[in-house]
Structure 1
Amino acid sequence: MQGPAVFIDLTLEDQAQELRKYFKSLGAEISQEKSTKGIEDDLHKIIGVCDVCFKDGDPNEIDAILNSIVSIMVSIPLDRGENIILAFCEKLTKAPDIPLARVCLQSLWRLFNNLEPSSPLRYHVYYHLVQVAKQSGQVGDVFYGVDQLKSQFAQCPPSSEQMQKLYRVLHDVLKDTNSELSSKVMIELLGTYTDANASVAREDAMKCIVTALADPNTFLLDPLLSLKPVRFLEGELIHDLLSVFVSEKLPAYMKFYKEHKEFVNSQIGLNHEQNMKKMRLLTFMQLAESNPEMTFEQLQAELQISENEVEPFIIEVLKTKLVRARLDQANRKVHISSTMHRTFGIPQWQQLRDLLGEWKTNLNTVQDGMVKVAQAQVELTRKQKAAY
């Protein structure tokens, strides 16, 4: 999808005139004559009517025409080319169907990759690329991670405001197809705010929380509480709900839901059954931190499930790889080997420090033992030589 623009063996002015003639033949309101104001004015006129080829046009022919326009655009100095770029991108976001959207996406990729890496215009092209990719069902070809996104603009980073705008459109594009990546994008968005402007990010912060709670694969929610825009929501119901998911067990969520059903179901649009499923997993993780062994009866009470649901639930937990455990069906118990922590605060850092300290002590003991073995081997060899 990142093919180069095709350069035709004609002057830019002649190429523009050929395009004018072509669009005129399709019924566009454009003169066939070159502009007396220069190639930039030609481009403005051509781009203004280029979408006429979308009507009953052959995708291959349309691709060739759009590529011709791209070839002219990247062949001239674009010091004043922002309006030209934006006009072209806006036209291509109006592709009427999926096949044409894919053609437009290819053209935008050519434009993006033929602009200098240091060009600030690349941002505008990429922003529209994301929108066209949604129309064509090819978002995964355009965006597959925040690190990849940042590398695209390494030589000319967009402003904070531009990145916020881009993150918002990416979140909107991804929320229905890749909730995990959508959640990461929103967290990255909130990270762009400072103490000075965090208070204006209320809507973004709420979207971030809702996306993270709704994502069936996001369980480590504690980092959200440290984000500046999220801290500004303290005292509001959305922040209270997030706190429940961060550190409370299922009964706390059930109490919250009983008191705020309308808020959960309608105002923020979460699914209660999915919330319960996630809270059961989080509750089990928390129990597993301090209980290396749990009975089926204990799990029934803590998770509010029936006897027949215990084993299927444990199997689902094991699939997430959040917990390593073994089912003891004969004794109706679950033996825990390890679990991911729901939160990672001072107690967890202290526990990690203790584990590393113990590991270091054990390594020193092994090292001392190896030294003694080596010394004994040397002494034995010396004695054997002396005996001969």
Structure 2
Amino acid sequence: MQVPPVFIDMTLEDQAQELRVYLKGLGAEISEEKSAKGIEDDLHKIIGVCDACFKEGQEADVEMVLNDIVSIMVLIPLERSENIILAFCEKLWLLFQSLDNQSPMRYPVYFHLIQIAKITDSVRLVYQDIEHLKQQFANCPPSSDQLQKLYRLLHEVLLKSNQSEQAALVMIELLGTYTDKNASQAREDAIRCIVTALADPNTLLLDPLLSLKPVMFLEGERIHDLLNIFVSENLSAYLKFYKEHKEFVTTQGLNHEQNMQKMRLLSFMQLAESNPEISFEVIENELQMKPEEVESFIIEVLKTKLVRARMDQAAKKVFVSSTMHRTFGRAQWQQLRDLLHSWRGNLSSVQEGMRSITAAQLELLNQS
């Protein structure tokens, strides 16, 4: 079996020629000579026959060939490489669709599709969600190392395309690939996961992170303390932490003003859990806001639909009907259980009432 070329200190043209030689050796219909039209034409021809490496090459060989193509492609100015990128995307997608569901080659092709999606900012065309991703490899699951590599790339690409919520979900999946034996090795991934979740304005239910093994290994560190504040404490606790650790918050890439806004929302949700009636004055004090900021803040909260409430400007009060819980522990499960039992009791009463009405109507019909 031939060994794929390794390109070190070579021109793009020489790298392309080495690829030509390797692919021709696998039976591809391509010349070994460089194209007279330049590197773009070379790459077009190479992409056209790159599937030859799938016929005889091992998974590592396939991945190396695809890596080599990408490494050349990214060095060509974007204004000259657009058609090449599109051709490579199309080739990879057709390859992926045509591969058997049990083929181990599905992983390297999908991985490189995500790489190209990063270059072209088109990840939405390839990646839908975690469940769809798992379906692609249901019959040929990648190794743990491969999954971790893919999830890290996906996280980076999703963040780049401003899909922070999806990126956070991918990072949680990444941490889930670690076991008790190697969770301590996942430190950087765990920190990245926490930071991504804290920075995402749409990620508000944060306590599930605390149960992840790699996150547990961070207990006692500042990042873990900060996570706990966002999970269950209020704005005052965050401001105290920020005052003592400003540089730490900044170096994590977190924005203090955005943190403030998120903590105000979380603190308001916590207030709403136990107070069906909240005065504007309490909101001002608890959330450290100016009187003129309260109404606009409440309007923004109601837009999120995390809290269902009615604002009475004249009485300067908010009347809460329901709210999303910041944490969902034993107390919340008990509350849900009690609610379901209550519903069941009410349904039984309704059912019994309907039976009585039906019996009375039948009796009237019989009498008539």
Normalised by the length of structure 2, the TM-score is 0.87
In structure 1, the partner of 2:6 is none
Give the letter for the 1:357 counterpart: H
1:326-385: per-residue Cα shift (whole Å, max 9, x none)?
11111111111211000000000010011011111111111111111122222222333x
Match of 1:263 among 229, 248, 254: 248
- Aligned pairs for 1:188-267 within 5 A: 188-266=173-251
Asked if 1:319 is matched to 2:319, the reply is no
Asked if 1:91 is matched to 2:52, the reply is no
In structure 1, the partner of 2:159 is 175
Give the letter for the 2:312 counterpart: D
Offset of 1:169 from its aligned partner? 0.8
CA contact 2:151–2:174 (8 Å) conserved in 1: yes
Match of 1:113 among 94, 97, 121: 97
Measure the CA separation in 2 of the matches of 1:230 and 1:330. 47
Range with greater deviation from structure 2 (79-88 or 181-190):
79-88
Measure the CA separation in 1 of the matches of 2:37 and 2:150. 29
Offset of 1:127 from its aligned partner? 1.2
In structure 2, the partner of 1:141 is 125
Tell me: CA distance 1:291–1:30, structure 2 relative to 1, closer, same or farther (3 Å).
Answer: closer
Measure the CA separation in 2 of the matches of 1:27 and 1:165. 29
- Aligned pairs for 1:1-388 within 5 A: 40-42=25-27, 55=39, 57=41, 65-66=45-46, 68-70=48-50, 72-73=52-53, 77-78=55-56, 80=58, 82-95=60-73, 96=76, 97=78, 99=82, 100-176=84-160, 177-266=162-251, 268-384=252-368
CA contact 1:285–1:339 (8 Å) conserved in 2: yes
Structure of higher CA gyration radius:
1
Offset of 1:107 from its aligned partner? 2.1
Offset of 1:115 from its aligned partner? 2.4
Measure the CA separation in 2 of the matches of 1:296 and 1:154. 53
Structure 1: where are the runs of 5+ without partners?
Answer: 1-25
Tell me: CA distance 1:47–1:371, structure 2 relative to 1, closer, same or farther (3 Å).
Answer: farther
In structure 1, the partner of 2:8 is none
Give the letter for the 2:48 counterpart: S
CA contact 2:158–2:164 (8 Å) conserved in 1: yes
Structure 2: where are the runs of 5+ without partners?
Answer: 1-12
1:4-46: per-residue Cα shift (whole Å, max 9, x none)?
xxxxxxxxxxxxxxxxxxxxxx998859xx98x9964455x96
For 1:206, what is the secondary structure of its paired residue? Answer: helix
Q: CA RMSD in A?
A: 2.8
Measure the CA separation in 1 of the matches of 2:312 and 2:155. 43
Give the number of equivalent residue pairs: 348
Range with greater deviation from structure 2 (353-362 or 118-127):
118-127
Range with greater deviation from structure 2 (213-222 or 192-201):
192-201
Tell me: CA distance 1:292–1:50, structure 2 relative to 1, closer, same or farther (3 Å).
Answer: farther
In structure 2, the partner of 1:16 is none
Measure the CA separation in 1 of the matches of 2:348 and 2:244. 56
Identity of aligned residues (%): 54
CA contact 1:221–1:342 (8 Å) conserved in 2: yes
Measure the CA separation in 2 of the matches of 1:40 and 1:220. 55
